[in-house]
């Protein structure tokens, strides 16, 4: 993944850059922390930052954003200014501060609004709190994200890392993203032979260490790398060194690739998509069909211009890590005996206990990332076992049923279902009479008419004016006939489903079941065949809870549709104590 520090286009004098942070998202937020400090120190500077996902600062505070703000309306609106996040407001009337959401301001226009109306552009406190929480721990977290470990590596690698410690990142990535073609170079080691191995202290980031440590890998027997038994006190150092050696050897094997092979495709460059979209928007292809000869010629010219102008100014700091490793080895002389003598003076390695987390810690982390840790913005602490038992004992399933009803009744749009705010922050409260009336209409109770707004409107008109002409009376009669036909249709469908597995799959409460049994016995004695009385209404809440609990039990503690839905509603179900 890539991180961009500016928007391309007509902008004032600026500094910008692109960072490839890979899987280490913490590097991305470290850059955000630096930008906040820079804009705080130099109060006239504004910074814009985005990545492959777009405005990731807004994604972090998505639950608190105004409704009008979306990816289409956020372009050139979001800035870090004076150490805080600022968003240009939506201007709905002439004279208001901001910019209309249906148009995109230029960077110069946006900066003019930002400088002249700073207070109006400052985001609200919940958004600031979300970003502050994400950056909590800096600058101390900078050192906490490093991990020092002992690795049993070939002497050449120890020398290279002593001169260029930054080359550890491409080496780990080469091993982590290896393919069968890469491993062909590791059948026999030519650059970093295993017979020169020494113990060295290597400094990783936590992400790089986890990528190296957590991958299982068995070296080729022809490589010469052998590992001691797992009970050996230095087994981990041997394993880490073996994996690092493979990464370094893979990079050195690719050092001879020509520049034309590396620049064969521009589609991998993060700036190419924006450049291509700009060409299409400005009519560069002149309406030519994609795939035509003229279109391909124009595309070839665009790619050539992109390589010459854009990629030349955004080349990575390490263009060919394999060549740089070989250059360090050529320019540095070392003694294997001196390196072995340094083994007794290595600094202690760090504990990697941070790799292991308990299920409770994982649950807490997921809740915090989901925005449901606590309502006041502080981290939720782990509860003692006694408090957890009390919480589970006092847990009410009413919250489950009401949470599902709130979710179903919430208004959503074509962009997807939205979690009602009451599910996350407010206690459950509802009118039992209203809920009962709604369920009765849904189940089609005999003494109530079926829910039809059109027919109710017709009835009200007839009651208010009985002298309407025959056309209105005919409409009323037709409406009544439609209601009768619909009711008969529903009754016949109920009777048909009653004898199927679908009908038997619903659970009825005890009172309803008892009444049904008594009714069946009385009908058997009198010889009556009133089939309608055999069809009893179901308990919607009971069936909802039963099906949810059954779905949760089938997940066996893993993620699934039921647990994901309940978690998104802020509903916590205690673990199933019955393992049978």
Note the pLDDT of residue 200. Answer: 96
Instruction: Indicate if the pLDDT at residue 557 is higher than 60.
Output: yes
Note the pLDDT of residue 552. Answer: 77
Q: pLDDT tens digit string along 252-276?
A: 998 875 444 444 467 666 678 778 8
Residue 62 φ/ψ, nearest 5 degrees: -60, -30
**Binning pLDDT at 50, 70 and 90, where does residue 138 land?**
very high
Considering only 11-20, 526-535, 542-551, which range has the smallest mean pLDDT? Answer: 526-535
DSSP codes, 505-533: TS---HHHHHHHHHHHHHHHHHT---GGG
Tokens of 160: 């290279």
More confident residue, 190 or 396: 190
More confident residue, 375 or 220: 220
More confident residue, 457 or 45: 45
CA distances from 400 to 278, 405, 407 (A): 49, 9, 11
Q: pLDDT tens digit string along 344-374?
A: 999 999 999 999 888 888 888 877 766 554 4
Q: pLDDT tens digit string along 19-65?
A: 888 889 999 999 999 999 999 999 889 999 988 888 999 999 988 99
> Of all residues in the chain, what percent carry a pLDDT higher than 70?
67
What 3-state class would DSSP assign to 484?
A: helix
> Of all residues in the chain, what percent carry a pLDDT higher than 90?
35
The model's pTM: 0.60
More confident residue, 435 or 146: 146
C-alpha span between 370 and 348 (Å, rounded): 37
Instruction: Indicate if the pLDDT at residue 375 is higher than 90.
Output: no
Beta bridge partners of 497: none
Considering only 174-183, 234-243, 376-385, which range has the smallest mean pLDDT? Answer: 376-385
- Please report where in the chains the tokens 């050192």 appear, as a residue: 143
């Amino acid at each position: 993944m890539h991180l961009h520090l500016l928007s391309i286009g007509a902008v004032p004098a600026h500094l910008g850059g692109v960072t490839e942070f890979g899987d280490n998202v913490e590097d991305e937020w470290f850059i955000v922390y630096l930008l906040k400090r820079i804009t705080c120190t130099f109060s006239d500077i504004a910074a814009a930052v985005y990545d492959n996902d777009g405005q990731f600062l807004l994604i972090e505070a998505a639950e608190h954003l105004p409704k009008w703000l979306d990816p289409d309306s956020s372009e050139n609106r979001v800035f870090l200014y004076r150490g805080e996040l600022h968003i240009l407001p939506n201007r709905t009337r002439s004279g208001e501060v901001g910019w209309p959401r249906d148009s995109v301001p230029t960077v110069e226009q946006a900066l003019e609004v930002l400088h002249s109306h700073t207070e109006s552009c400052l985001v609200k406190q919940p958004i600031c709190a979300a970003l502050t929480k994400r950056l909590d721990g800096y600058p101390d977290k900078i050192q906490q994200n490093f991990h020092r470990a002992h690795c049993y590596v070939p002497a050449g690698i120890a020398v290279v890392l002593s001169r260029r410690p930054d080359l550890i990142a491409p080496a780990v990535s080469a091993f982590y993203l290896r393919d069968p073609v890469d491993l062909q170079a590791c059948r026999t080691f030519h650059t970093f032979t295993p017979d020169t191995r020494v113990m060295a202290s290597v400094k990783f980031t936590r992400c790089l260490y986890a990528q190296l440590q957590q991958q299982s890998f068995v070296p080729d027997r022809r490589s010469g790398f052998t590992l001691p038994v797992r009970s050996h006190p230095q087994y981990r150092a041997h394993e880490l060194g073996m994996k690092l050696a493979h990464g370094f050897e893979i990079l050195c094997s690719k050092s001879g690739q020509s520049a034309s092979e590396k620049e064969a495709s521009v589609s991998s460059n993060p700036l190419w998509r924006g450049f291509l979209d700009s060409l299409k928007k400005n009519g560069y292809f002149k309406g030519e069909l994609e795939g035509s000869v003229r279109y391909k010629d124009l595309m070839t010219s665009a790619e050539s211009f992109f390589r010459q102008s854009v990629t030349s100014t955004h080349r990575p700091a390490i263009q060919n890590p394999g060549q740089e490793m070989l250059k360090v080895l050529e320019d540095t002389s070392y003694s294997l005996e001196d390196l072995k003598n340094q083994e007794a003076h290595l600094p202690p390695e760090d504990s990697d206990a941070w790799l292991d987390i308990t299920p409770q810690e994982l649950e807490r982390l997921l809740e915090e990332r989901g925005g449901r840790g606590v309502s006041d913005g502080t981290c939720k602490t782990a509860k003692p076992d006694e408090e957890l038992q009390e919480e589970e004992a006092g847990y009410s399933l009413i919250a489950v049923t009401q949470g599902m009803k709130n979710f179903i009744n919430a208004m959503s749009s074509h962009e997807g279902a939205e979690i009602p705010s009451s599910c996350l922050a407010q206690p459950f409260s509802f009118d039992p009479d209203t809920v009962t009336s709604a369920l009765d209409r849904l189940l089609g109770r005999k003494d109530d008419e079926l829910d039809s707004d059109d027919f109710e409107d017709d009835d009200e008109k007839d009651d208010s004016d009985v002298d309407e002409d025959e056309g209105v009376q005919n409409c009323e009669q037709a409406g009544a006939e439609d209601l009768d036909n619909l009711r008969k249709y529903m009754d016949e469908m109920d009777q048909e489903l009653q004898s199927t597995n679908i009908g038997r799959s619903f659970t009825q409460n005890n009172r309803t079941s008892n009444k049904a049994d008594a009714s069946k016995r009385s009908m058997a004695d009198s010889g009556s065949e009133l089939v309608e009385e055999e069809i009893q209404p179901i308990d919607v809440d009971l069936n909802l809870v039963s099906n949810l609990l059954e779905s949760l039990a089938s997940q066996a503690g893993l993620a699934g549709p039921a647990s994901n839905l309940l978690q998104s509603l802020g509903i916590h179900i205690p673990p199933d104590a019955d393992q049978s």
